[in-house]
Every structure is written in C-alpha cells, then in structure tokens.
C-alpha cells in the first residue's frame, strides 16, 4: 500500500491536483486515515471531516474557490446529467456549503478509485 501516497494520488490520479491539494488541506484529515477508511470520510453528513463541519469553514472555502467548484460541477453534470435539488444561490449559506461538500465528495470518489487500484 505504500504506493498509495497522497503525492502519488495528486501526481498521477487526481483530475485537479492543484485544487485537490487545497481541498485536502481544508478537510484536515490525515492521508493515512483517508487511505485506511476512505468510505468513512466520503459522505457530507458524516461529520468526520474536521475542516468541513461548520458553515463558517465550508462557506468561506466555496466562496474562495467558487470558479473551480463550478467547473468541476459542470464537468460532472456533462458526464452524469444535471443534479437535482441543488440549493439556490439566493440561499448563500446552503449554496456554498453544498458546493464545498460537492467538491469534497467528488474528490473522495477519485481517492476511493485510487485506493482500489491497489486491489
């Protein structure tokens, strides 16, 4: 499992290494834990991602990286179809919180796929 390092993920597997590095830093979950229990850190409602629990953190992150997240969302919707029930941008807190968690879960799906390359 040693080749499943964060460096290897970002260098060879991540679709957006520059942004994913920032997202991993924001999430504040040690790579060793993501590697050992990736499913535990995937879901938005898990409460297990320290940097993504409070609105003050998620809203600030999404505002700072809004264009990156919109680009990722657009690519996702082009590949998978439009997502329903997205919060309205008029409800700023819910919208930006959702955007942060969309970005996290999208990245975690790549992390999980990366971890499965070992098997």
Q: What does the alpha-carbon distance between residue 89 and residue 69 come to, in Å, rounded to a whole number? A: 14
Whether 68 and 38 have beta carbons less than 8 Å apart is answered as no
Domains identified in the chain, total number: 1
* Residue 12 placed within a domain: yes
Task: Say if 55 falls within a structural domain.
Answer: yes
Owning domain of residue 79: 6-116
Q: Is residue 1 part of a domain?
A: no
The per-residue pLDDT for 1 is 44
pLDDT tens per residue, range 14-51: 999 999 999 999 999 999 999 999 999 998 778 899 99
Summarised one tens digit per residue, pLDDT across range 50-106 is: 999 999 999 999 999 999 999 999 999 999 999 998 999 999 999 999 999 999 999
Nearest-angstrom CA–CA distance, 42 and 40 = 6
């Amino acid at each position: 499992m040693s080749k499943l390092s964060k460096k290897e993920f970002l260098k060879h597997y991540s679709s957006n290494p520059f942004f994913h590095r920032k997202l991993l830093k924001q999430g504040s979950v040690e790579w060793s834990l993501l590697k050992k229990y990736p499913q535990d850190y995937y879901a938005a409602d898990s409460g297990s991602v320290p940097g993504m629990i409070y609105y003050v953190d998620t809203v600030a992150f999404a505002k700072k990286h809004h264009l990156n997240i919109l680009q990722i969302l657009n690519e996702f919707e082009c590949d998978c179809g439009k997502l329903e029930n997205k919060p309205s941008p008029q409800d700023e807190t819910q919208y930006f919180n959702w955007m942060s968690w969309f970005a996290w879960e999208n990245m975690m799906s790549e992390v999980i796929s990366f971890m499965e390359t070992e098997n």
